[in-house]
Amino acid sequence: MTDTAIRPARIALVGNPNSGKTALFNALTGARQKVANYAGVTVERKEGQLVTPGGRTIRVLDLPGTYSLRARSPDEVVTRDAVLGRLSGETAPDVLVCVADATNLRLVLRLVLELKQVGRPFVLALNMFDIAQRQGLRIDLEQLSREIGAPIVTTVATRKRGLDELLTQVDTLTLTHSNVGDNTWREPSAGEIRAAHAEAQRIYRDCVRPPERPDTVTGKIDAVLLHPVAGLLILAALMFTVFQSVFAWATVPADAIDAGFAALAGLVSEHLPEGLLASFIADGLIAGVGSVLVFLPQILVLFFFILILEDSGYMTRAAFLLDKLMGVAGLHGRAFIPLLSSFACAIPGIMSTRVIDNKRDRLTTILIAPLMTCSARLPVYTLIIGAFVPREKVWGLFNLQGLVMFGLFATGIVFALLVSAIIRRIFWRGAAEPLMMELPTYRWPEPRNVALNLWTRAKIFMNRAGRIILPLMVLVWVLSTFPYPPEGATGPAIDYSIAGRLGKFIAPVMEPIGFNWQMTVALIPGMAAREVAVAVLGTVYAVGGDADSHDALSTLLSQQWSLATALAFLAWYVFAPQCLPTLGVVKRETNSWIWPTVMFVYMVGLAYLAAFVVYHTAVALGAG
Amino acid sequence: MSDAVLTADDAIASDAPTRALSTASRGETGVIVAVRGDTGVAEAVASDELERRLLEMGFVEGARIEILQEGLFGRDPIAVRVDDTRVALRRREARAVTVQFDG
Ligand SMILES: Nc1nc2c(ncn2[C@@H]2O[C@H](COP(=O)(O)OP(=O)(O)O)[C@@H](O)[C@H]2O)c(=O)[nH]1
Ligand SMILES: [Mg+2]
């Protein structure tokens, strides 16, 4: 028996959305989590480990929430396949932990009946038991356990209560192999769902007595937040606050990071003999990493708000309020969450489209997500606006630079809606996918949860910076440094480098939209990650002249570019698919090369057209 | 209350008015007497699929209903309390649910 006692086991957390699966997962595994994707389907998979008091290692899998094993969205397919052990390279979990919101048992009991048919050992975790007790909800645990044929533990995931009992049950179940049976599950028909409902209803009536003090707060809050007029106004104010904060809160840490890296580069230049190595470390490595890490604060601030809105239960309300408006553009109300995330970065945005059931709705959302101004575009916008737009007040009230920035955001949103409308009205006509969404009880966001999730986000971002952006910066440095200019050359060194030649080679194509070859050079590695373009412009102009700081670059640009060129560059950036990782995610999400290609072509087309129109209009108006 | 499993026949027998959920206004309450899959208009999902989705979200015969809120544009979508859960859905799909309204 000792052999099985220490054999590692796998458990999977299954349950309705918002029952506390992720909270329980966090409580069980702490920060020892890995976020990855399921093979083939890019649905985020969280896996973590823990060691039981008995010394057994347990791997915990956090699955996407579901109301039934009958999968409708890619999200739910993953849950079903993980539970049934159909995922490639994986066996069925040793124990299924069904996580239920103790205060909201009706729907989950039917899911429990489905899980029972799977024939795997399972335990029911009655989570949120603190709220159940506060409400005076009485549940006859023994009888409920008998009815569902599985052990029950009560847990408070956010306070780490009940975890030991849960693990003890898991240990026992893996040892005794009790209630393992044949898998008799198959997709239930409507009639079978009704029958299961009736059975669940009977169990509920027999085991649960209604709460003495039911929650009334959610209803009161909803009376305001879901109010047709007040609700929309509050939502607008909230969004405004979020964007203000992204700019306001992130400035100080971003500047600090920027200054830190500049100081580091300065230190290197000072202490290393001038030459290739110093240039490589200061211009290539440090400047490259620094130029990307400055976005970390912005991304974290935006995700902070998204997590708070999600955790509190507000996100579904926002989707409710916006459903009709978004429907005009052919979007599903649920597209709101992915699109909001895309303001931080299109990658998590595109990944979160998995909450949309319908394939066409999902694809439309994916295709327009990169039109949301992601934070990687900000440094480009900031640089150009700083160089070309005067620091003026408009009507003594609005900051002109801020207005231009807002205009760029707005252009992105407007075109996203237009593109979506065109897709849904012309290419994919047909009825809209039903909206059916539980509006969860409002809760205070759990600081620990938010912190853990932010940490995970930061890790993913730095990983990406390290793995994709850093090598590219090194590549850019190599391309813009070699070969050296010949002896006695008079022009700037970069003119002779591979990057310079390449830029000049492509430049004629970009000339009609007012781009010079330096800009063209910047666009190439900018494909890897938009923000790299700023660093490359710095490198190109620094290697070419001697601009060593951000301000200097800004001044330099304002001398070298015409206003028309600068505006065309901004217009290009609103649309251009300047980000290979995004295209890569689209490929993985859609499992086809067609969609990334479509995205690339339509976005480049829009970008070229927009830059062309802006450039020539500006020239005609005398800004050439 | 929610224990009462009313069927469509019961509803016809009683003289309380039954209407589609899609016609309900804010504040109205009642009991679901029938859930079908077809809404009388073209849907993105098959009628059998729609019926199952409604059932899984708790729209099942006998469940108590209350209309909590309506959207601004065309009073759509609606937020509905179904027994103890709050669910948002569009009036379009709400046509598949027949309710015997109180009073
Ligand atoms: N009071 C209380 N709140 C909880 C408990 N478990 C989770 N929550 C909160 O419930 C919300 C939803 O939890 P989450 O883990 O995201 O649910 P999931 O959708 O099942 O992953 C979060 O705001 C949690 O902080 C609990 O046991 N007690
Ligand atoms: Mg979760």
Q: With contact defined as beta carbons under 8 Å apart, do B2 and B63 qualify?
A: yes
The yes-or-no verdict on residue A314 having pLDDT over 70 is yes
Residue contact A435–B77, C-beta within 8 A: yes
**pLDDT, tens digit, 9 for 90 and up, residues A483-536:** 877 777 666 667 788 878 888 888 899 999 999 888 887 787 666 667 667 777
Q: What are phi and psi of B89, to 5 degrees?
A: -150, 165
Cα–Cα dist A88/A40, whole Å: 9
Tell me, yes or no, whether A193 and A223 share the same domain.
Answer: no
Lowest mean pLDDT among A189-193, A377-381, B1-5: B1-5
Spatial neighbors of A454 by CB under 8 A, at least 6 apart, are A300, A303, A304, A307
Residue A346 within a domain: no
Please tell me the predicted confidence (pLDDT) of residue A299: 74
Please tell me the predicted confidence (pLDDT) of residue A529: 65
Q: Which residue has the higher pLDDT, A263 or A468?
A: A263
Q: With contact defined as beta carbons under 8 Å apart, do A207 and A143 qualify?
A: yes
Minimum Cα–Cα distance from A197: chain B residue = B60
* Complex ipTM: 0.86
Does ligand 1 have an atom closer than 6 angstroms to the CB of A494?
no
Most confident of A307-316, A352-361, A426-435, A451-460: A307-316
Give strand ranges (E) for A334-415: 393-394, 398-399
- What is the pTM for the complete model shown? 0.81
Collapsed DSSP state (helix, strand, coil) of residue A483:
coil
Tell me, yes or no, whether A120 and A132 share the same domain.
Answer: yes
Ligand 1 centre to CA of A187 (Å) is 29
Tell me, yes or no, whether A234 and A205 share the same domain.
Answer: no
Tell me, yes or no, whether A205 and A261 share the same domain.
Answer: no
CATH of the domain at B46: 2.30.30.90
Q: Which residue has the higher pLDDT, A350 or B99?
A: B99
Label residue A31 by pLDDT band (50, 70, 90): low
- Please name the member of A106, A222, A324 whose beta carbon is closest to the beta carbon of B68: A222
DSSP string computed for A167-188? HHHHHHHHHH-TT-------PP
CB atoms within 10 A of CB A183: 13
Tell me, yes or no, whether A183 and A289 share the same domain.
Answer: no
Contacts of A323 in chain B (CB under 8 A): 71, 76-77, 88, 90
Q: With contact defined as beta carbons under 8 Å apart, do B66 and B81 qualify?
A: yes
Average pLDDT over all residues of chain A: 83
Q: Could you say which ligand is closest to the alpha carbon of residue A449?
A: 1
Ligand 2 centre to CA of A14 (Å) is 10
Average pLDDT over residues A162-189: 84
Q: With contact defined as beta carbons under 8 Å apart, do A281 and A272 qualify?
A: yes
Q: With contact defined as beta carbons under 8 Å apart, do A197 and A107 qualify?
A: no
Q: Which residue has the higher pLDDT, B52 or A404?
A: B52
CATH of the domain at A157: 3.40.50.300
- Please name the member of A194, A324, A432 whose beta carbon is closest to the beta carbon of B73: A324
Ligand 2 centre to CA of A158 (Å) is 13
Contacts of B90 in chain A (CB under 8 A): 323, 432, 434-435
- Number of independent structural domains in chain A: 3
Residue closest via CA to ligand 1's atom 23 equals: A311
Residue A351 within a domain: no
Whether the ω angle into residue A228 lies within 30 degrees of 0, i.e. cis, is no
Lowest mean pLDDT among A300-304, A374-378, A435-439, A577-581: A577-581
Average pLDDT over residues A411-438: 87
Lowest mean pLDDT among A129-133, A423-427, B38-42: B38-42
Structure tokens at A215: 């929650």
Q: Which residue has the higher pLDDT, B90 or A246?
A: B90
Lowest mean pLDDT among A104-118, A383-397, A428-442, A554-568: A383-397
Tell me, yes or no, whether A529 and A599 share the same domain.
Answer: yes
Structure tokens at A218: 């959610």
Please tell me the predicted confidence (pLDDT) of residue A179: 59
Where does a domain end: A194, A215, A236? A215
Residue A451 within a domain: no
Closest Cα of chain A to B3: distance in Å? Answer: 8
Q: Which residue has the higher pLDDT, A537 or B73?
A: B73
Q: What's A577's DSSP letter?
A: -
Residue contact A433–B50, C-beta within 8 A: no
Most confident of A196-205, A396-405, A462-471, A481-490: A196-205
The yes-or-no verdict on residue A547 having pLDDT over 50 is no
Residue A470 within a domain: no
**Residue from A60, A79, A443 whose mutation best tests the ligand 1 pocket (most atoms within 8 A of CB):** A443
- Please name the member of A106, A198, A316 whose beta carbon is closest to the beta carbon of B58: A106
Q: With contact defined as beta carbons under 8 Å apart, do A485 and A495 qualify?
A: yes
Residue contact A325–B55, C-beta within 8 A: no
Tell me, yes or no, whether A179 and A268 share the same domain.
Answer: no
The yes-or-no verdict on residue B52 having pLDDT over 90 is yes
Does ligand 1 have an atom closer than 6 angstroms to the CB of A440?
no
Cα–Cα dist A9/A91, whole Å: 11
Q: State the residue range of the domain holding A101.
A: 2-215
Residue A349 within a domain: no
Tell me, yes or no, whether A79 and A223 share the same domain.
Answer: no
Label residue A1 by pLDDT band (50, 70, 90): very low
Q: Could you say which ligand is closest to the alpha carbon of residue A129?
A: 1
Helix (H) or strand (E) holding A596: helix A594-620
- Please name the member of A227, A434, A438 whose beta carbon is closest to the beta carbon of B85: A438
Q: With contact defined as beta carbons under 8 Å apart, do A373 and A409 qualify?
A: yes
Label residue A297 by pLDDT band (50, 70, 90): confident
Q: Is A195 on the interface with B (CB under 8 A)?
A: no
Closest Cα of chain A to B40: distance in Å? Answer: 12
The yes-or-no verdict on residue A462 having pLDDT over 70 is yes
Q: What's A285's DSSP letter?
A: I
| CA of A157, closest atom in ligand 1 | 27
**pLDDT, tens digit, 9 for 90 and up, residues A367-419:** 999 999 887 787 788 888 888 888 777 776 677 887 888 889 889 999 999 99
- Number of independent structural domains in chain B: 1
- Please name the member of B51, B52, B88 whose beta carbon is closest to the beta carbon of A316: B88
CB atoms within 10 A of CB A609: 14
Collapsed DSSP state (helix, strand, coil) of residue B100:
strand
Please tell me the predicted confidence (pLDDT) of residue A148: 93
Spatial neighbors of A197 by CB under 8 A, at least 6 apart, are A110, B55, B60
Please tell me the predicted confidence (pLDDT) of residue B47: 86
Please tell me the predicted confidence (pLDDT) of residue A40: 44
Ligand 1 centre to CA of A533 (Å) is 41
Tell me, yes or no, whether A205 and A222 share the same domain.
Answer: no
Closest Cα of chain A to B71: distance in Å? Answer: 5
> Which of A 405-434 lie inside 8 A of B, CB atoms?
430-434
Cα–Cα dist A1/A171, whole Å: 12
Cα–Cα dist A337/A402, whole Å: 25
Q: Could you say which ligand is closest to the alpha carbon of residue A44?
A: 2
Cα–Cα dist B91/B101, whole Å: 16
Label residue A192 by pLDDT band (50, 70, 90): very high
Give strand ranges (E) for A257-326: none
Average pLDDT over residues A460-475: 72
Q: With contact defined as beta carbons under 8 Å apart, do B20 and B100 qualify?
A: no
Helix (H) or strand (E) holding A508: helix A498-510
Q: State the residue range of the domain holding B21.
A: 3-101
Cα–Cα dist B88/A439, whole Å: 7
Tell me, yes or no, whether A171 and A229 share the same domain.
Answer: no
Helix (H) or strand (E) holding B80: strand B78-82
Residue contact A434–B90, C-beta within 8 A: yes
Which residue type, as a one-letter code, is found at position A439? L
Tell me, yes or no, whether A264 and A152 share the same domain.
Answer: no
Ligand 2 centre to CA of B86 (Å) is 19
Please tell me the predicted confidence (pLDDT) of residue A35: 56
Residue A502 within a domain: yes
Where does a domain end: A292, A312, A332? A312
Most confident of A302-311, A388-397, A477-486, A539-548: A302-311
Contacts of A438 in chain B (CB under 8 A): 57, 85-88
Lowest mean pLDDT among A270-284, A433-447, A539-553: A539-553
Ligand 1 centre to CA of A55 (Å) is 28
Label residue A305 by pLDDT band (50, 70, 90): confident
Decide: residue A291, CB within 10 A, 0-12 exposed, 13-18 middle, 19+ buried: buried
> Which of B 17-76 lie inside 8 A of A, CB atoms?
37, 41-45, 48-58, 60-62, 68-76
Q: With contact defined as beta carbons under 8 Å apart, do A21 and A13 qualify?
A: yes
Helix, strand, coil abundance in chain B, percent, nearest 5: 20, 30, 45
Cα–Cα dist A282/A578, whole Å: 25
Residue A345 within a domain: no
Contacts of B45 in chain A (CB under 8 A): 358, 433-434
Which residue type, as a one-letter code, is found at position B79? A
Tell me, yes or no, whether A83 and A111 share the same domain.
Answer: yes
Residue A495 within a domain: yes
The yes-or-no verdict on residue B8 having pLDDT over 60 is no
The yes-or-no verdict on residue B77 having pLDDT over 90 is yes
| CA of A449, closest atom in ligand 1 | 25
Where does a domain end: A280, A312, A344? A312
Please tell me the predicted confidence (pLDDT) of residue B11: 46
Cα–Cα dist A228/A506, whole Å: 53
Please tell me the predicted confidence (pLDDT) of residue A370: 93
